[in-house]
Chain A
Amino acid sequence: MFHKKQVKYIQWIFSIVAIIIIPHFLDAYLIYISSLVCIFIILAIGLDLVIGYTGQISLCHAAFFAIGAYTSAILTTKAGIPFWFSMPLGAVTTALIGFCVGIPALRLGGLYLALVTLGFGEIVQMVTNNWILITNGPDGIVIPSPELVGFSFSSDLRVFYIIMPITICLVTIGRNIVQSNIGRAFIAVRDDEIAAQSFGMRLARYKTISFSLSAFYAGIGGGLYTVTTNFICPTDFGIVTSIDVLAMIVIGGLGTIIGPIFGAILLTLLPEILRTIAEIKELAYGSLLLIFLIFMPGGIWGILSNLLIKVRMVFPLTTEKKVN
């Protein structure tokens, strides 16, 4: 018998080894899709921090995604800054812009905030389309594969090994934050602003932190996107992308970290699976979304966690006491 902590370590080692080995058996297309899944997991967790945890509507997540991607791409192609620096710089820039977008949230709520963020998203897309000198407009930007001391991350597999660890780190950081005093403040602000203030929380602080964090996540997602596709253009970052990420967190389970992961996996894979029935793809996609929303109001995670509780009742986890 193993001690509970040892079991945990063995699980970790197994999953890490599995994650490193399994991609070698996948073809390039599947690996490319896995990278996209990772990027959308990052985007979805970022959006969930602001919508699911802090309760502020944001419809401009694709704009943050775009700012991260364009900043990183422009710094790499025009200023010659390597990806390893341009990507974090892009994320920090996005976080600063996210902070500014958070400021209207201090005065506006609900539908008004939805409109402000929607407008911001449109502005960003206009800029990427029309500021041709910097963004190349609709022609887009071609991004070279990143290099590290002579080693080129030129294949989909190599890029996946950049993206996957960053995704794991960001998921862990997200979980750490929501389980901290800051996460509790987010939830308190979401549930009741008056009560939150009476515990000493400054609303302005938590709304802007939440928007900045959300934008930071999207900014990293954008930077990673540039090296996954090696090409970006304004149509990648339209309102549809914002709505897709919103659908991921709603279908996965709002206000959880694990829910958006399920949502991102499902909604990134679904269009790829439905590709085989191209004629009715859009219809099938829409109908499936409706079915999920009607039958899983708490999201995928809502259903799964209920199931888990029932399984635990039948097969209780061996506690440390029993092991000793």
Chain B
Amino acid sequence: MENAISIEGLSISFGGLKAVDNFDMEIKSGEIRSLIGPNGAGKTTIFNLITRIYKHDRGKILFYGEDISTLPPHRIAQKRIARTFQNVELIGELTALENVLVGCYIHFTYGLFSAALRLKKMRNEEKEQKGRALKALSLVGLQPFKNIVSSNIPLGQRRLLEIARALVIDPKLLLLDEPAAGMNALEIKELNRLLKLLREERGITILLVEHQMRMVMEVSDSITVLDYGQKIAEGTPNEIRNNPDVINAYLGKKESNAQN
């Protein structure tokens, strides 16, 4: 199986702090991979490096064999990499449907002139993309919310809305930053089902950052564990569950606990 993404020796530091240090990771196409680790381990930083929001100091990011580590951030969506945000970045005053249309940006080709005069090209494209947006909304189960202003939508649904907005990019790789935060058990179950469906029906590779361990263990094919910007373990959910390094990172070593 081809690698969707392979990261080699990726490093970035912020004023002396090594946020991500010599990080390697390979994700197979169609895999659901979780990236876990304590707060501040560098998980979101890795998302920002893949999407080129941060410029890495060293290393390489290959996406289906193509080096994307020199692209400007606005070119990443064209490569079909989509993401969601830890602190839900929806536009509060726009409706759910309009927010998803914002995500359809790369599919629009008309210019300022067509927009100003509402030319046929503009109206046709708007109609076509509206269809795409509605399909994405119903896929995540948010069709009833389509005309609700997003600031009035509950947090769990807002996270789903962000996923819908990422899906209209037609991503090959989907980066989800804590999608289950603020969701109840039932919603998490639905989310798991959705992620598996995306993988099976659309072949989307998913990289998931999540703190809800039960979800991570259930949905992931494999897990990468990060601590202080370094990879400390990688393997199937079962291997990770019993890995002593991981247990130390999360719970602290027994000796150091005793000293405290």
Binding site for B on A (CB under 8 A): 173, 176-177, 180-185, 187-188, 191-192, 194-195, 197-203, 209, 213, 255
Contact = CB atoms under 8 A, between A and B. Distances in A.
B110 A198 contact: no
Given A184-B98, A197-B76, 12 more contacts: A180-B118, A180-B122, A181-B105, A185-B105, A188-B105, A194-B85, A197-B74, A198-B76, A200-B76, A200-B106, A201-B74, A201-B105
A197 B105 CA distance: 10
Nearest to A197: B73
Q: Is the interface of B mostly helix, strand, loop or mixed?
A: helix
B116 A199 contact: no
B25 interface: no
Nearest to B85: A195
A187 B91 contact: yes
29 contacts: A173-B117, A177-B112, A180-B115, A180-B118, A180-B122, A181-B101, A181-B125, A182-B115, A185-B105, A187-B91, A187-B94, A187-B102, A188-B91, A188-B102, A191-B91, A191-B92, A192-B89, A194-B48, A194-B85, A194-B89, A195-B89, A197-B51, A197-B53, A198-B51, A199-B77, A200-B74, A200-B78, A201-B105, A209-B112
Given A180-B122, A181-B115, A194-B53, A200 B89 contact: no
A200 B115 contact: no
B77 A198 contact: yes
Q: Give the interface centre of A183, A194, A202, A213 by most chain B CB atoms within 10 Å.
A: A194
Interface string B58-85: 0000000000000011111110001101
Contacts of A199: 77, 102-103, 105-106, 169
Contacts of B48: 194
B5 to A, nearest CB: 16
B126 interface: yes
A213 B89 CA distance: 27
B200 interface: no
Contacts of B122: 180
Nearest to B94: A187
B108 interface: yes
B93 interface: yes
Contacts of B77: 198-200
A195 B83 CA distance: 9
A195 B90 CA distance: 9
Contacts of B115: 176-177, 180-183
Interface in B18-32: none
Contacts of B104: 181
A199 B133 CA distance: 14
Contacts of B105: 181, 184-185, 188, 199-201
A180 B53 contact: no
Contacts of B98: 184
A180 B119 CA distance: 11
Contacts of A173: 116-117
Nearest to B48: A194
A194 B84 CA distance: 11
Q: Give the interface centre of B74, B82, B106, B118 by most chain A CB atoms within 10 Å.
A: B74
Contacts of A197: 51, 53, 73-74, 76
Q: Give the interface centre of A185, A198, A200 by most chain B CB atoms within 10 Å.
A: A198
Interface string B209-220: 000000000000
**3 tightest A-B contacts by CB?**
A200-B77, A180-B115, A197-B73
